[in-house]
Structures are given as C-alpha cells and as structure tokens.
Amino acid sequence: MKRSEALAQFLDVARDILSTRAEERTPPAAVAARVFEALATSVGTIVPGTLVPPPAYRHLPSALEAARAALEISPLAEAFEVLEPELRWRRRPGSEAHGKAFHEGHANADIVGPMGLEQRGDVWFGASLVAPNVRYVEHQHPPEEVYVVMGEGEWYREGDGWHTPSVGGIVYNPPNIVHAMRAGPSALLALWMLWVA
C-alpha cells in the first residue's frame, strides 16, 4: 500500500510541527515519537472514501482560515486542507445522547486508525471540529493522547479544570484521564493522536 501524496505530505508536516511544538523529553514528545516511528515503519490499508459529513462540517472553512493565519501551524493547516477531501467526517458514536447542540455541533475525521483513511490499529490520528459555543463532551480512553490546538477554545482536564492553550499549543492527556474542550465564538479545530499499541 502506498500513501497518497496528500496523506504523506500531511504526516511529514505533522511530524515536523510536533517535533518543534512538543517540548523535548516530555510525555507528548514521547507519544509523537512512537506514533511517527510506527508510521515510518509500515503503511496500513488505504481506504479513501466519503460520507455525508455532519452539519458541523460547514464550519471547516472558517476554522481552516483561522488555523492558516496562525504562523506556528499554518503549514499543518494547509496540508490538512489538501488532505481533507480524502477523509470521512463522522459524529462521535452515541453523540445523540449528549443533546442536540453537541450532536449537531461536532464532526470528527479519522486520518489514521481502525476507521481511518489509513486503516491500522496501533496509531489513531484524527481531527475534531467543534462548532461555535459548543462543548465537546467529557470523555476518556486508555491510550494517552496528544492534541495539536488549531483554533481558539478552552480545554478541560480532570484535576486541572479548564485552561486556554494558545493556537499551535500541545495538549497532553495521560491514560484514562477525563478531558473535554469547548469552542468560543469561533469554531475550534484540533488534531489528535493516540498511541494504542
């Protein structure tokens, strides 16, 4: 299997951005190192395709415009924009149980992972888009997680409460910690990666 040019380029840019944005010898740097080493070692099954995206997808152009304007991450925003037509956008499973605002107000796309454009089990790498003034529900999972913050918003982590990372910032969540995020007046775009293996 061979990655598309857009996917290969996106992963290259993401690796470079993570290596400058995640402080050396910190847990997020370690997660990123493992993720990109795995991605350099093998390629999963490439399954391009489209679904009808959830309604929140309409906020993607404005979120990308804001991300492109932020110097630290503009190459990543540009690479994601080129890649995005190959992705399937979906809702979080069970999102209808969290009310209409969340159900209608978020969209996730899997770049790498069991449901990704590149299907494999060891790495999950995706994007979340949150509509203005919507909170992405609290959740937790065993793999540790690194987010690249691609827009303005507030972030929650159990024990630490809410904080506001800068655009281009890195958010790290240890295994099983409860976390969430919420958009302010503009849509919030975030990239996330989980090391599962």
Nearest to 189 by CA among 115, 124, 142, 136: 136
Q: How far is the CB of 138 from Fe ion (least distance, A)?
A: 10
Q: How far is the CB of 103 from Fe ion (least distance, A)?
A: 18
Nearer residue to Fe ion within complex by CB, 10 or 124: 124
CA 155/CA 48 separation, integer angstroms: 31
Give the contacts of 98 (CB within 8 A, at least 6 positions apart).
137
Nearer residue to Fe ion within complex by CB, 6 or 151: 151
Nearer residue to Fe ion within complex by CB, 118 or 145: 145
Q: How far is the CB of 133 from Fe ion (least distance, A)?
A: 20
Q: What is the rounded end-to-end Cα distance, in angstroms, of the chain?
A: 21
Residue of this chain nearest to Fe ion (CB atom)? 145
AA identity, residue 113: G
Q: How far is the CB of 129 from Fe ion (least distance, A)?
A: 14
Nearer residue to Fe ion within complex by CB, 86 or 145: 145
Query: Could you list the residues that contact Fe ion (CB under 5 A)?
Result: 145
Residue 25 DSSP one-character state = T
